[in-house]
Amino acid sequence: MSATDSLRAAIRDVVDFPKPGIVFKDITPILADGKLFRESVTLLCETAGGARIDKVVGIDARGFIFASAVADRLGVGFVPVRKKGKLPWKTRQTAYALEYGESIVELHEDAVQPGESVLLVDDLLATGGTAAAAVKLLDELGANLVGISVLIELSFLAGRNKLIPHPVHSILTY
Ligand code: AMP
């Protein structure tokens, strides 16, 4: 089996979680398997295509798991985009709509310096609202967004359209 087939086979579909009608892609079986977790991080790192990255930005909460591992592998810093009320310092915030609900995300205003090259990483791209909110905050700070990399893309929700003109790379597409 190829690496991506093994990752795909490990993802568990949980029907009607957290709300009726949602098929939740549970990535915890990947995290629990050292080989699969390492492979997922390797593939996410490869999406950067050798471009210089100064910081990897991860999205609360499952995005942190992959983004921090990618940052460590690339030998660069990690920056969290968090749900409202979690970051202790001065923040910028923006509201957005989720596949299931609504939320506000925040970024420390000194987390990224103008012109720094950043890779945005999340576990899953659904409607794209969350990633678009993170992109907006990074744009406001003057970051050079190299790309948005996700393990899973639910392509039927067309989330990448919300991220134009930024390059979106997904390892597994549904
Ligand atoms: P969205 O803003 O609609 O692109 O939603 C993306 C965020 O919600 C990601 O951070 C995911 O972790 C989570 N998410 C949305 N839909 C799902 C799903 N079907 N399975 C697992 N996570 C999801």
- CATH number of the domain where residue 88 is located: 3.40.50.2020
- Assess if residue 123 is contained within a domain: yes
What residues contact 18, with CB distance under 8 A and at least 6 apart?
Answer: 24, 100
Q: State how far the Cα of 117 lies from the Cα of 50, in Å rounded to an integer.
A: 12
Range of the domain at 124: 49-173
| pLDDT tens, per residue, the chain with 174 residues | 999 999 999 999 999 999 899 999 999 999 999 999 999 999 999 999 999 999 999 999 999 999 999 999 999 999 999 999 999 999 999 999 875 678 999 999 999 999 999 999 999 999 999 999 999 999 999 999 999 999 999 999 999 999 999 999 999 999
- Assess if residue 56 is contained within a domain: yes
Which two tokens mark 79? 């920056």
Q: State how far the Cα of 60 lies from the Cα of 53, in Å rounded to an integer.
A: 20
- Assess if residue 20 is contained within a domain: no
CA 123–ligand 1 middle distance (angstroms): 8
Residue tagged active-site, from 8, 73, 92, 99: 99
Strand 91-98 relative to strand 12-15: parallel, antiparallel, unpaired?
unpaired
Pocket test of ligand 1: the residue of 98, 135, 152, 153 to mutate, having most ligand atoms within 8 Å of its CB, is 98
- Assess if residue 44 is contained within a domain: no
Task: Assess whether the C-beta atom of 25 lies below 6 angstroms from ligand 1.
Answer: yes
Q: Active site includes 153?
A: no
- Assess if residue 25 is contained within a domain: no
